[in-house]
Amino acid sequence: MSEVIGILCNDEVFDTQTAQADGIVGKEIYFDNSKEALSIIRHSCAHLLAQAIKELYADAKFFVGPVVDEGFYYDFKTAHKISQEDLGTIEKKMKEIAKRGLPILKQTLSRTQAMSKFQDDELKQAVMSKIEGDSFGVYCQGDFEDLCRGPHLPNTKFLHSFKLTKLAGAYLGGDENAEMLTRIYGIAFADKESLNTYLHQIEEAKKRDHRKIGLEMELFSFDEEIGAGLPIWLPKGARLRRRIEELLTQALIIREYEPVRGPEILKSSVWKVSGHYDNYKENMYFTEIDGVEYGIKPMNCVGHIKVYQSSLRSYRELPLRFYEYGIVHRHEKSGVLHGLLRVREFTQDDAHIFCRPDQIESEVSQIIDFTHKIMSAFGFTYEMELSTRPSQSIGSDAVWHMATEALKKALESRHIQYRTDEGGGAFYGPKIDIKITDALGRKWQCGTVQIDMNLPERFGLQYTDGDNTFAQPVMIHRAILGSFERFIAILTEHFGGEFPFFIAPTQVVLIPIAEGQIAYADGIRKALLTLGAYAEVMDKNETLNKRIRNAEKQRVPLVAIIGEKEVANQTLSIRDRRLKTQYELKQEEFFDMVETKIKEVRF
C-alpha cells in the first residue's frame, strides 16, 4: 500500500484524521517501515490487541497501550487467568478483526464528557487524572472504543503483519504499591517480510543470550544467597574481563592517563556537596559508622575530585587525566535486573579529565579517536549523539556555548555524522553519547563524554592561570565501555560467545589422545602461559570425541590434538574453530602464531 497514513509536523506525528480536522500541514507519512509510519502502525495494533482481548474476555479493562522500542504493549486487567499459551488465541482474534476492515474513527470529548463516558472504568479514570487540559481523544473501531490521543491508521485492514511476543506483569502506573496488571507485548510492521526478518533476529537473539552463553562457557553466575544483581565472576569470565582491562590499561598509559583510586564509601556530607544526596539518593546505599552516615559510591567522580584537590594546580599541569576501574553500587529495582546488562554492582572504565576551557576540543577529539579504535577492534559500528543545554541548567551562556561548540568541532573535524538531541544534556553540561550496533542490528547505549561545569564549581576547584589568578577547570567525564559488566554482556551476544582470539577466555585446548602425551601437552600449556595465552589440557578419562565436543561447547578458538606422532615430531594437529580448518604446525610455528594472534589488537 502507498496510502498516506499521517503527517509529520515539527517532529510530531499526526494521523490523517487529526491533521484534516486541525488543518495540520507537514511531511506526508506513507504506509511503510519508516520510524514515523511504524509509530502509527504499532499504536493502532495496540488497540487491535485491546479489541481482541475485549471480545475474548468481556470484563477486561484497559490502562495504557503505548508504542515502545520493542514494539507496543497494552496493560489491562481481567478476572481470567492469562497465560503465554493464550497469546496464540488472542493473536488469531486480532487477525479476524483486522480482516473486517473496520474504519478507525476519532472523536474529541471534553473532560466532563470523557469522565462521564468512562465513569465505570477506574483504569481510564486513572489515565485521565494524569492528563492536563479539557480535551480528550477517543478512537472507535466497530463496537470497540478507547481513550487515546493517537495517532492511528484510518482502517484495521492495514494491520496484517504483527506478532504477540510476550506476557508480563506491570504495576498500575509503575507504582509498586498499586495493583498488578497484565501486560502483553507485540510487534508490527508494514509487510510480512520485515516481520519475519525481525522474528528471525529475535530467535537468533535468544540463542545469543549472554545469560545462556555465560552459563555454558562458565563465565559468570548469580547466587540468591549472595543477592540479586550481584554477579560472581568465574575464572574464565574473569580472564576475559582481565584481558579487556589489560588492553585498556596499555592504551591509557600511552595516552598519559594516571591511575587513581577512590574509597568505596564516603561520608554523606560529600554527597550533599556533589548534589547526589538530593538528586540521586534513592539509587544509593547508606550505612552508619561511629554515628556518621556514609554513602556507598554510585559513581567515581568525587574520589577523582579529591585527587585533584590533593595538590595546588597550575595551568601548566593541565590537562590532568585520571582513570579508575571503579566498582560502584546502585540500588536498582529487582524488576529491571537483567543478567549483566542491569546489575547492582558493576565496574566502570571511568576517567575524568580536568582541563582548561580551551582544551576541551582537543581532549574530546582524543576520546573520539580512542573510541573508534576500541569499537573497530570488536567490529562494532557506532553512532554519536550530541545533547545540548536543557531548560533547567547551571552555568553561563558563554561557557555552555564554548563547551557545546567544542564538542561539535571535535565531531565535525573527524567527519563524524551525529544526531543532536536539543535540550537533552545534563543540567551541568552538554554531552556526547556513544551508541553501538551489534551483529543483530540492535543498538546499545555504552559510552559517554560529558562536559561538567557543576562539580568543579560545587567543590571550588581551581588552578593558577598564566596571569597568576585563579581559574576554574572544566571536568570531562569519560567512559567508553560504560561498564565491564554491560560491555561483556553486549560482546557475548555480539559474537554469540565466539570471542576473537585476543580476548577469548580460553584460547587453546590441548587434547592428548593417551596418557603418554599428557606431559607434552602440559609443557605446551605452560609455554603458552608465558606468552600470555590461556590454555587448558583436557585429559579426563573420556573419549576423544567427547573431549572435542566439550571444547567446542566452550567455543575455544584453537583445539590441538596430540598423539604419538605429534610428540615424536614435536608438532600439533590444530582444529581452528574460527577459520573452520584443520592443519598441522611445528611447535615453534604454533607459538609464533599464538603470539601474533594475541598481539594483533591494540587500542
Out of 350, 433, 438, 452, which one is annotated catalytic? 350
Contact 531, 595 (CB under 8 A): yes
- Catalytically annotated residue among 106, 389, 408, 477: 477
- Contacts of 193-202 with C-beta under 8 Å, sequence gap 24+, read 194/33, 194/161, 195/161, 195/162, 195/163, 199/163, 201/440, 201/441, 202/165
The catalytic position among 163, 241, 297, 301 is: 301
Q: Give CA–CA dist 270/482, Å, rounded.
A: 24
Neighbouring residues of 338: CB distance < 8 A, sequence distance ≥ 6: none
Distant-in-sequence, close-in-space partners of 587: CB < 8 Å, separation ≥ 6: 524, 570, 571, 572
- Residue of 43, 330, 344, 577 with catalytic role: 330
Active-site residue, selected from the candidate residues 152, 313, 352, 389: 352
Quick one: which of 220, 187, 240 has its CA closest to 71? 187
Q: According to the 3-state scheme, what is the secondary structure of 494-545?
A: HHCCCCCCCCCCCCEEEEECCHHHHHHHHHHHHHHHHHCCCEEECCCCCCHH
Is 348 part of the annotated catalytic residue set?
A: yes
Is position 431 annotated as part of the catalytic site?
yes
Active site residue 397: no
* Spatial contact of 349 and 322, defined as CB atoms under 8 Å apart: no
Annotated catalytic residue, options 17, 51, 141, 348: 348
9 flagged as catalytic = no
| Alpha helices per DSSP H over 287-433 | 301-308, 360-377, 397-413
Write out the H or E segment, with its range, that includes residue 50.
helix 35-56
Detail the DSSP E strand segments found in 254-373.
258-259, 265-267, 285-289, 292-296, 320-329, 345-355
Which among 458, 545, 548 is positioned nearest to 509, based on CA atoms? 548
Write the DSSP symbol of residue 472. P
Catalytic residue, candidates 276, 297, 431, 478: 431
Q: Is 329 a catalytic residue?
A: no
Rounded alpha-carbon distances, angstroms, from residue 142 to 51, 102, 152, 527: 9, 6, 14, 75
319-to-252, 353, 355 alpha-carbon distances in Å: 14, 7, 4
Residue 168 sits at φ, ψ, to 5 deg, of -150, 175
Contact present, 386 and 407 (Cβ < 8 Å):
yes
User: Which positions are annotated as active-site residues?
Assistant: 301, 330, 348, 350, 352, 431, 477
